[in-house]
Amino acid sequence: MASTLLGASGLQYDRGRVLRKNKNGNPTIFQATRGNESVVLKQESASIFDLSQRLADEFAGSRRLRMPTDFSPEDHIVVYPYFTDTLLDLMRADPDFPPTELKKILRYVGEAIQEFHAKGWLHLDVKPDNIFVNWTCNKEGNKTVTDATLGDFGIAYKQVGATPLRTGVALGNFMWRSPEGQTGSGITKASDIFSYGLVCIYALGGRDHLLLEDEKEIAMLAEHGITPHEDILARHFAFFGPVNEGLLKQVDSCEHGTLKKASAIAERAVEDQPELRFEVWGKDLGEAALDMIYGLTKLDPMARLTIDLVLRCSWWQEP
């Protein structure tokens, strides 16, 4: 690729460091500059490029959704605002990041989901590495979040009426999917809500319960014939309760056996370790946070809070 890019807007971008390469080692994401402003150049497939243009038109001027600011149709390159961190990178680098600032991030992400859902869109991949954050640190060491947005809409879907999405395959990262999302059936706005609930738990200190990243642990599961997504599904049943009729009604009947099996594994684990329930290990979050997250992570999708109700929860008013 050339060292400079001319966007459809007529603006010129100077490529800088490579942020990501594909499996073949070819750069696909660059940090770039436009005058004194930093941006990101991302090469997309034709389908995602077209989707990005559609979303940029529909959500022009959004403050909470990380929408493209320019395009290069010839190379299928999309220009995005540059952010200092993702929530994932931020938490890994600084697990003690100020809780009040993390709460600010969660609020902004909730507002992003609200805006997206209001126009009928499902994100389908709400997770910490798709949350982009700018923050500052003054000379006294005080850290302040200045902006946070939800991005990466490569598998976003516009729902037709109230008809749930049925893909036949699970979409998004397995650690952050809803139970119905793990089956690839019965997916609705409520599926994004469940994922958002997991993100809230992650940001508020529960990340050790949620993540499955240790290669030795994954290998040990494989020795017992357990896939990573089966392990995560069982964890969610252990945290939030056994499978129920509402969830079974939502998903395709051919997936009932998978859900019931994971739920049975979870219940046996909880018998030995009652502390696996979220109501036990999440109690330090406080009653208001616990109530809100329970509303986000109900196993019956129809019983989960809508994002409008989430943003009216009393927890947001707590200092």
pLDDT of 23 > 90? The answer is no
Give 28's pLDDT tier (boundaries 50, 70, 90). Answer: confident
Q: Which two tokens stand for residue 119?
A: 């126009």
pLDDT for 213 equals: 83
Burial of 183 (0-12, 13-18, 19+ CB in 10 A): buried
> Residue range 44-56: average pLDDT?
96
pLDDT of 1 > 80? The answer is no
Mean pLDDT for the chain overall:
94
For residue 91, which amino acid is it? M
pLDDT of 2 > 80? The answer is no
**Model pTM score:** 0.95
Taken in order of first residue, the domains within the chain and their CATH numbers are 14-81 (3.30.200), 85-317 (1.10.510.10)
Chain Cα centroid distance, residue 158: 17
Contact 44, 52 (CB under 8 A): yes
Q: From CA 143, how far away is CA 105, in angstroms rounded?
A: 13
